[in-house]
Structure 1
Amino acid sequence: MTIDKSQIRNAATVIVLRDRFDAPRILMGQRGAKAVFMPNKFVFPGGAVDPGDAHVPLASPLPETCAARMSEDADPGLVHAIAVAAIRELWEETGLILGRPGTWDTPPPPDWETFAATGHVPHAAPLQFTFRALTPPGRPRRFDARFFLVDADDIASDLDDFDAACDELSHLQWVPLSEARSFDMPFITEVVMAEVEARARERTPPDSVPFFKNNDEESLFLRLRGRPMEG
């Protein structure tokens, strides 16, 4: 039996890292009690790729290394849309702007109108592709999620102003990286946390990215260079 890819949605998650060289903190929020996917859990902002994301312009593309890693074991045509989704989800769920000042050449799609109104165009160069995880079978929803690390210094808005955020995440807060594991979070978030801790002081994208690949036959920890993870 193989994966029914029609039931798996591509998704993007953003881990914003603040004060990475002094006392690193990460931005997290809590999902609602009635959420179908991971209710009550503390998570990073993120969500599924929308069809329109493929057509949203970027002021800058993803770093070449990240795009290359994302194209392994995946459709290279998804790279742009996933990067756009990461920036959109960060804006929608936290009100933080990852963008460059500028105007749009064409009218923005409806779900980008509030972002465009801030006078910014989405900016993907600061995103570091850090982890990929496929939701195991049997869950109410399945996602092929790409996790991106971004330095808070690259955010164009006030890091403590969440007024523009939707209500999907509550208790948005900057959590000390050393204390994050005490929060009630999904298993995969804990796994990703280890990668964040290892890369907290690295400003360049990783050459090799962990991939937690769950299909109907087995669960594998791979690296997106075709090699099994060591250890």
Structure 2
Amino acid sequence: MDKTAIRDAATIIVLRDRATNPRILMGQRGAKAAFMPNKFVFPGGAIDAGDAGIALATPIADPCAERLADQSTLPANALAAAAIRELWEETGQILGTAADWPDAPQGWRGFARTGHRPSPDGLQFVFRAVTPKGLPRRFDARFFLVDADALASDPDDFTHAEDELRDLQWIPLSQARDFDLPFITQVVLAEIAARVDDPAPPDTVPFFRNDDEAHLVAQLGGANPLR
């Protein structure tokens, strides 16, 4: 695989105690990670080949489904499924509906053993960004926001997490930018902080395209690209 090629990816921001003391779930990447070592990040990763074939428990609601399709050929359900899978793999948290899933494909069998099927209920598509040139790996990442109340698991139980992220914790939104963060994570945090009091989906979704020359920022679901 060409590691310089842009891969589709999904990232999930879990927000807890929105109305009282907003906190977000983050973890630290390992020192030997090829991409963004030692950085604190949200759970997320590249889309797997099988994610498009995952039958979600419920459809993705509009306007998020429409905006996921804007300037993209990837099925919206693949992006949502990847976000849910990465959340499970990296934190052990479950975003799903209680149901048997006897025919779960490889990569989802641990999730299925919890007695759930993946559900996008509560997921909001809030941001999209392409990794700039010059980094060892590049991604076209879609960022989803979900309230911790939508989790079907104990938000403080990380015992089922894989070891890709360490020091998993709920970080106060007001303190998150004191951590060692990738630049784009800082930008996304500013977007979340600006609308933490509004639980509705955003009017438009910022898209940091990082084009070679113009570095355009588009608004998905909104007006023409902004320079």
Mapped pair 1:100 → 2:92: no
Identity among equivalent positions (%) equals 61
1: CA distance, partners of 2:41 / 2:17: 19
RMSD of aligned Cα (Å)? 1.5
Correspondence for 1:172 among 161, 168, 181: 168
Deviations 1:174-224 (A, max 9, x none): 000000010000000000001111221222212200011112223122211
2: CA distance, partners of 1:178 / 1:59: 34
One-letter identity of the residue aligned with 1:107: D
One-letter identity of the residue aligned with 1:199: R
One-letter identity of the residue aligned with 1:48: A
1: CA distance, partners of 2:39 / 2:26: 10
2: CA distance, partners of 1:61 / 1:25: 27
2: CA distance, partners of 1:214 / 1:71: 19
- Name the counterpart of 2:26: 28
Change (3 A) 1:29 1:206: same
Alignment TM-score, normalising by the size of structure 1: 0.93
- Name the counterpart of 1:216: 212
1: CA distance, partners of 2:213 / 2:135: 15
User: Is the partner of 2:218 in helix, strand or coil?
Assistant: strand
Correspondence for 1:44 among 42, 45, 48: 42
One-letter identity of the residue aligned with 2:43: P
2: CA distance, partners of 1:87 / 1:22: 26
Normalized per residue, the structure richer in helix is 1
Correspondence for 1:182 among 175, 178, 187: 178
Mapped pair 1:117 → 2:113: yes
CA contact (8 A) 1:210 1:229 kept: no
Question: Runs of 4 or more off by more than 6 Å in structure 1?
Answer: none
The worse-fitting range, judged by mean Cα deviation, of 201-210 and 95-104 is 201-210
1: CA distance, partners of 2:112 / 2:183: 35
User: Is the partner of 1:47 in helix, strand or coil?
Assistant: strand
User: Is the partner of 2:174 in helix, strand or coil?
Assistant: coil
2: CA distance, partners of 1:66 / 1:102: 25
**Gaps (5+ residues) in structure 2?**
none
2: CA distance, partners of 1:122 / 1:9: 22
2: CA distance, partners of 1:159 / 1:201: 21
Deviations 1:100-134 (A, max 9, x none): 00122x61111100000000000102110000000
**Gaps (5+ residues) in structure 1?**
none
CA contact (8 A) 2:121 2:150 kept: no
Q: Give the C-alpha shift of residue 229 in structure 1.
A: 5.0
User: Is the partner of 1:27 in helix, strand or coil?
Assistant: strand
Aligned length: 224
1: CA distance, partners of 2:197 / 2:57: 26
2: CA distance, partners of 1:165 / 1:135: 26
2: CA distance, partners of 1:31 / 1:79: 27
- Name the counterpart of 2:57: 59
Q: Give the C-alpha shift of residue 227 in structure 1.
A: 2.8
